[in-house]
Amino acid sequence: MGIHVIETQLQGVLIIEPEVFRDARGFFMESYNRRVFQAHGIPYEFVQDNHSRSAHGVLRGLHYQDMRAPQTKLVRCTVGRVWDVAVDLRVGSPTFGQWVGVELSAENARQLLVPVGFGHGFAVLSEVAEVQYKCDGYYEPAAEGVIRWNDPDLGITWPLAQPILSPRDQNGMSLKEYLKAPKFFFRH
């Protein structure tokens, strides 16, 4: 069993393609193997698994946990298709405010590694999608933040013009507001 690791333009954000064995019965893959990941220089120890189900048109994000309870996430889509996005929120980083997007689907089995210091969100492209992700830190509501999904300073190209959003995601802060509240933000 193995993985293929693709580096993105954002240092630390990786696309991971697990080896998938398909035949007439279906498929088999290891979605995570600590030894294999560590052999590829991916040293995280995950402590929490999350699973969400969303309808077509839902957009979740851009979420992060600040330095009081930082999290790295290993994200995959197990049902349907999503457009998954990571945004660099590390103040002082040469790629601060830049983003990378990739389609994750049950069919392509790709995963996105979103390290500490990055915001994360996804938009559902299929009728329904289930997203599962491993975290290397525990969820802490007091450390959670939301950056506005459509902030013009980010310029993210979302595949949805009018997404379905939670009230929390509708009221996310802009990147400029994030910079004005530096108490717990990430530094490069």
133 is catalytic: yes
Q: Which is the catalytic residue, given 32, 44, 64, 133? A: 133
Q: Which is the catalytic residue, given 44, 63, 64, 120? A: 63
pLDDT at 78: 97
Nearest to residue 101, comparing CAs of 159, 150, 42? 159
pLDDT at 180: 87
Phi-psi category of residue 97: left, alpha or beta, with phi > 0 → left and psi -120 to 50 → alpha: left
The strand ranges marked E within the chain are 3-7, 14-18, 20-23, 26-29, 48-55, 59-65, 73-79, 81-88, 99-105, 111-114, 118-124, 128-135, 144-146
Domains in the chain, start-ordered, CATH in brackets?
3-184 (2.60.120.10)
For the entire predicted model, the pTM comes to 0.94
Q: What is the pLDDT along the chain (188 residues), one digit of tens a residue?
A: 789 999 999 999 999 999 999 899 988 999 999 999 999 999 999 999 999 999 999 999 999 999 999 999 999 999 999 999 999 999 999 999 999 999 999 999 999 999 999 999 999 999 999 999 999 999 999 999 999 999 999 999 999 989 999 999 999 999 999 998 766 667 76
